[in-house]
Structure 1
């Protein structure tokens, strides 16, 4: 299994604080059936800046240590970009690290809102040949209240990734319910851990996979796992026709 969103690189954001934390996370990942992780440290979120060259160096160092420790896990480079207006300029300057050196790039919205320029930026990224993936939209309060906005983004070509812990209920019932609605409306394309440690922000992938298979069947599970493989291989992902989420379905959330 491939985990496309994880804060496993040591000492560069609010994920693993040191190499020992990284190794603990690696062991937990392997125990959950994960053999490949895309390391996605925060970038430009107001607290952390992690540029491509630094990420590449950290990935090489961690892979070397994993080999020495005989932990059967491969780390690939990535980046979790908080949305900012100059992201294309950053890409041109070689500061933006795409996921596994593919054309896919993570875009994170602030928790409480979606910037007014988001749709324009997502379009501009696609024109440039990049494929934006909105991370954890199920945890964004504006999208919960106005899911039509996410529908329009997905309908215009943007992909999304939901968090395993959201589906297990670790972030609460409202977020779990909205995550399920995104799956049912074909508004998400990836399932990933967004793990930061082995305790309060652990992988939860094994639990989430069981939840998906139980609730939606093996086809949906295959959809998520295959899309992660296609991303790593730089290929086009599977998509189903997105559907709007009817507002009446959300009334129970608030």
Structure 2
């Protein structure tokens, strides 16, 4: 991770109050492993000024073949724990859907869990762009969904064909950038592309993509940095996290 922009940790908070991408729901993917971990992660969200969290656990073929039922069961458990702990935070249930054969099955059966406002968070393949992605994104919009592409800065096959970002965005796909990418957590390539997307007005939402408390601490340190202050001042007017309702 980059160190040149770090300064002494403080109580800096984000300029928005809704996290649209995180893995805080317990026991359903490689994010939070327990309810107690989830509560600590939610406390970290509150510390950063976030009081509304959309829980987007992975739904992926073979690895995390979640269903509305498995996610809802974990959601009910977490909501009760949040109430018992007295945390003043609003929770919503959705998922981060990898576009694969399992997604195709769920989507065809009408068994997906969109965010409030019918937004739906989609993760592209990390190896190559899917041939049918344009048709899928068009079909989703025809059916009243608002597709969000999760962390576009992490898809290496776009790095040498950046015009593809512009076409996807122009076709009605919202882009959700990871704050962890700006902090250098995913390497210099992802950070470079994240900055390029910001410069070209292609970022609509920010997400923590938080899987654990280590991620939370990295984000807390980063949003106390001069680098974040400079970047956030440029993008506040474009970020629509709080409009996902």
2:242 corresponds, among 194, 215, 229, to: 229
Judging changes above 3 Å, is the alpha-carbon distance between structure 1 residues 91 and 105 closer, same or farther for their aligned structure 2 residues?
same
Q: Indicate the residue corresponding to 2:206 in structure 1.
A: 191
Does structure 2 retain, via aligned residues, the 8 Å contact 1:103–1:130?
Answer: yes
Match status 1:61 vs 2:74: no
Contact 1:160-1:189 within 8 A present in 2 as well: yes
Q: Structure 1 CA distance, aligned partners of 2:61 and 2:220?
A: 25
TM-score of the two chains, using structure 2 as the length reference: 0.85
C-alpha spacing 1:118/1:85, structure 2 compared with 1 (3 Å)? farther
* CA deviation after TM superposition for structure 1 residue 51, in Å: 1.6
Return the TM-score normalized by structure 1: 0.82
Structure 1 residues 18 and 32, CA gap change in structure 2 (3 angstroms): same
User: Following TM superposition, by how much is the alpha carbon of 1:30 offset from its aligned partner in structure 2, in angstroms?
Assistant: 1.2
- The structure 2 residue matched to 1:10, chosen from 23, 26, 40, is 26
Report the CA distance between 1:93 and its aligned residue. Answer: 2.9
Residue of structure 2 in register with 1:240 after alignment = none
Separation (CA, whole Å) in 2 of partners of 1:216 and 1:19: 32
2: CA distance, partners of 1:73 / 1:162: 23
Distance 1:155 1:222 in 2: 18
Superposed, 1:215-254 pairs within 5 Å as 215=231, 217=233, 220-224=235-239, 227-231=240-244, 233=245
Cα distance in structure 1, aligned partners of 2:62 and 2:132: 18
> Is 1:118 equivalent to 2:133 in the alignment?
yes
Match of 1:154? 169
Tell me which of the two structures has the higher relative contact order, counting C-alpha pairs closer than 8 angstroms and 6 or more residues apart.
Answer: 2
> What is aligned with 2:191?
176
- Distance change in 2, residues 1:71/1:90 (3 Å): same
Q: 1:108 to 1:77 in 2, by over 3 A?
A: same
For residues 34-85 of structure 1, the C-alpha deviation after alignment (integer angstroms, 9 at most, x for no partner) is 1111000111243001222332332222121111111222221111000136
Asked if residue 107 in structure 1 is aligned to residue 132 in structure 2, the reply is no
Deviates more, 1:172-181 or 1:86-95: 86-95
Corresponding residue SS for 1:6 = coil
Structure 2 residue runs without a partner (length 5+): 1-16
Q: Determine if contact 1:38/1:76 at 8 Å carries over to the other structure.
A: yes
- Unmatched 5+ stretches in structure 1: 234-254
Does the CA contact (< 8 Å) of 1:212 and 1:221 recur in 2? Answer: no
**Backbone CA RMSD of aligned residues:** 2.2
What displacement does 1:160 show? 1.1
